[in-house]
Amino acid sequence: MRKTIFVLVIWILSSCGNNMNKEYIVTNDDSTASEYEIDRKDFTLENLVSERLKNYFELLKLKNEHPEFQEDILKQLKDFSKEGFIKTDSSNFSVENIRTVGETVVLSDSLKSMRLYYDSVSTNGIETDSIDALIMTKIILLDGIETKSTKISFLRIE
């Protein structure tokens, strides 16, 4: 058994040592740059709002499943909605088929509103519901570079 471990250790050390002698060449090729380009379609306003809504419901689900973390989760949920939370009775629900309806309404230079519909799937069945998303944007300076900051919160529809 000791011989086997000794052989494995020697083998690992020698294989790590072999890689130290290799040279790695970093190029500024356009062919390699295209492999790492970011798809701008993934960062559309609709996708950002949809992801934020999924995170909101995941926190609600986590609050129901783990009441011992309720205080921390409530602090995070206040960032999503100032006027209250959507009531969910069970932790066995999921949100699917999030879609925008209508145009994004521009309320001011830095404020937009978007209506979302989603399917809430639970043990009781599938229920379609809606929520309004408030999108606040502002330009901030980050290390001397102007960056666009986007904050999304949700409003219940009465």
pLDDT 10s digits, 105-146? 888 888 998 988 888 887 888 888 888 888 888 888 888 888
Residues contacting 141, CB < 8 A, separation 6+: 147
Q: Which helix (H) or strand (E) holds 71?
A: helix 70-80
Is 107 within the bounds of a domain? yes
pLDDT tier at 32 (50, 70, 90 boundaries)? Answer: low
Is 7 within the bounds of a domain? no
Is 127 within the bounds of a domain? yes
Is 113 within the bounds of a domain? yes
- DSSP 8-state code for residue 124: T
| Structural domain containing residue 100 | 39-156
pLDDT tier at 8 (50, 70, 90 boundaries)? Answer: low
Percent of the chain with pLDDT over 70: 68
Domain count across the chain: 1
- DSSP 8-state code for residue 35: G
Is 135 within the bounds of a domain? yes
Cα separation, 141 vs 138, whole angstroms: 10
Whether the CB-CB separation of 53 and 131 falls below 8 Å is answered with yes
Is 33 within the bounds of a domain? no
Is 69 within the bounds of a domain? yes
pTM exceeding the 0.85 threshold for the entire prediction: no
Is 146 within the bounds of a domain? yes
